[in-house]
Structure 1
């Protein structure tokens, strides 16, 4: 059995071109069409996404990606997986850094956004990694059955309208015994406090920097307006939050076995979201190397606190990030 073809191509039979800036009319239409919103928003963000989220392809993010993978899948995996797929790849952050960490040998990337696929493939080429890519809907993955040994994704499930259908597709393209690992998904409680902290930080920063003494710390109004339009689309593209137990049930309903969800970042999220929002609200040249080191090292220390102390006293649903893993059963094995 072969899956459906990749979603829509242009008249030349090629993947559609990215649209880096949406018009007001397109933004209005996106409120009625979830998948159009996904394309517009992520094409808009593609060229600046790595900078916005401090994504890199050096030891810092290689270690982070490998750490997320091992935290949910365990440290005894048979590495490297021969062929891996990243679903909703964005700029390729998760898969490319996992490949550099030795988790996978070759890779494929898919995303509904042509802009994101373009940047992910460019990043892979710059890193010398063996990666192909397609513009595709996560609910109709354009690869044959039993193609991949590993499927991964980071901050993607909450963008997909039908998560269970997407996981069925993930299991279809996995080989029997193949594993999926998804990380960076917002929990229901975590999303509430993260968004509120972000909104308060944005309001405070953009208003305080109106003062004449702090004008140099204010981004140009055109950039702030564009960020506001992007934020409006963000409210449309973020479709789900997750409760760990329900996320596990969804994966089992899709047919996965050995399913496990885990959460992380509580104190780190309470610190991290205001920091990220502040960084988005001020000119980039105001953020010195010392500031970036401070923010990263503080996040590391708070993540350590979360793992060593907070995990013992805070319910797992209160942490911000959810991760989930599962396995495609071998024929005749349907145990959960």
Structure 2
């Protein structure tokens, strides 16, 4: 008697997509990578290793078959394009994990999913750079954060960027999507951590992006510009204070301590580390400013919270992306 392996489809062959595809493969599942174009090779490079992945790649949505899990790892602004894969991959029993930035995963992706699919928002703490098509440099971070049951730990337990190297091999699935996702990647190189207050966790993740991402993209500098230039550091801190005020208005349990916590995270990076927005700008790709700085401005307007610095940064990012 044969046992069917769990079928996992990863949409997006960028930095995050390759790292999570590797994890699902290492956890023993049948993995397929869905991409716009087929890379010649799939390579994940780390400080101590270079690994080539043997994972099939689909480029035609018409060839897709229903998966048990769909891991959506495109940039947030590319969801509409990724939706071409949904009909072929998603059935009534499929769980879709949205591995993207922002605080509106469900609102943005949910309306595009076929009826019956389960949606699970996830926060990605993986610092990885796409060096060229199919070749990723995974610098640090190996954590995905999802909604847990009410008695799981609060997000304050997971403030640091780095996480344990692997999820426990003995992890078992419960009934909640987050529990099942943790079990799915058990034994891989990614740790899936569950929090009771996902709203606060999502805003804490947004803070990590709202300061460093636009600042590095606009200056075309890596993390050293925030770590070493006092004027830039002051501006970044002010951007985060505005974002905290908006998050509180949204119901997140943020305080000014979260700004200090975010700067501790920034300072833990190497001076030559970058951000996803910097990598996208350097690669000539569109940036996620509307889902990060744009979210701070849009929700600030809704709640009557003044965010003049984020508004100015958003204007500059829109100008940067103007075609």
TM range (shorter): 0.3 to 0.5
TM-score relative to the length of structure 1: 0.35
Higher relative contact order (CA 8 A, sep 6+): 1
TM-score by length of 2: 0.36
Bigger radius of gyration, 1 or 2?
A: 1
